Amino acid sequence: MSNAFLTSRRAAVLATFFAANLYANAAFAELAPKVRFITTEGEFVVEVYPDKAPKTVANFLQYAKDKHYDGTIFHRVISNFMVQGGGFDADYKQKVTRPPVVHEGQDALAKGGPRNVEGTLAMARTNDPNSASSQFFINVKDNAFLDPTIIPPGDPVPRFEYGGRVYENTPRAQLLGASQLFGYTVFGKVTSGMDVVNKIKALPTGAGGPFPTDVPKKAVLIKSATLLN
């Protein structure tokens, strides 16, 4: 069998492989649930990844289906960080939410999910990793310091790096309970309308309602959040 034949056959196999991957990626892009947000500053669309963070995505989509986000504002806007909304109405009254969703940041990242980079969608929370409910934020720059830290296998964990330091033979339970390692769960990204998000991030901010800073002086209202597929 000639080398020319083998080369041709290898090329055909590779072409088929890449074509299959392209088809699979295109099919996934079509299947990934999408939500359109119409705001007073324009509209944008996000897609979310149930294969990476299933409970987080189900929680977010249910709030959208329940029209929870309709009439809420972006109450926290920091131009070199992120824009946050989904929890307060135009009168700064906090909306009633369901019980919080379990934190999935580390699992999502371990499954190849996205990091906290510009344009990605993540859950807002308190210092308690398992406190996220309806509020979300959109990263307007790369925010690596928000990324979850994946804990290597083993007990004790033979070698572990965090914050520029190396830790050796650390009991696994000690790491599993370290809240600073959880980061923030990224579960989607903006697929269109990032110019609108950038418009929101550039608005002047100040005090508003119960918040002493970072509230847009011109209210940014979410008119509707609609599931597209």
Q: In this predicted structure, what is the pLDDT of residue 1?
A: 46
Task: Tell me the pLDDT tens digit for each residue of 50-102.
Answer: 999 999 999 999 999 999 999 999 999 999 999 999 999 999 999 999 999 99
Domain positions in the chain are 1-31, 33-148+183-227
Rounded Cα distance between 147 and 184, Å, is: 6
pLDDT of residue 186: 98
With cut-offs at 50, 70 and 90, classify the pLDDT of residue 8.
low
Q: Which of 123, 139, 143 is nearest to 197 (CA)?
A: 139
Instruction: Name 207's bridge partners.
Output: none
Give the residue, 96 or 25, on which the prediction is more confident: 96
What is the structure's pLDDT at 27? 45
Q: Residue 20 pLDDT > 60, yes or no? A: no
Query: What are the phi and psi torsion angles at 208 (to 5°)?
Result: -165, 130
Contacts of 66 (CB under 8 A, 6+ apart): none
Average pLDDT over all residues of the chain: 90
DSSP 3-state assignment of 23?
Answer: helix
Give the SS3 label for residue 11. helix
pLDDT tens digit sequence for 120-138:
999 999 999 999 999 999 9
Q: Hey, what CATH topology would domain 33-148+183-227 get?
A: Cyclophilin (2.40.100)
Q: For residues 147 and 156, what is the distance between their CA atoms, to the nearest angstrom?
A: 23
Q: What is the per-residue pLDDT for 229?
A: 87
Summarised one tens digit per residue, pLDDT across range 176-194 is 889 999 999 999 999 999 9
Query: What does pTM read for this prediction?
Result: 0.85
pLDDT above 70 for 14: no
| Contact (Cβ atoms closer than 8 angstroms) between residue 50 and residue 35 | no
Note the helical H segments in the chain.
3-31, 54-65, 105-110, 172-176, 194-201
Contact 51, 108 (CB under 8 A): no
Q: Does 10 or 44 have the greater pLDDT score?
A: 44
Residue 5's pLDDT is 39
Nearest to 137 by CA among 198, 186, 103, 97: 186
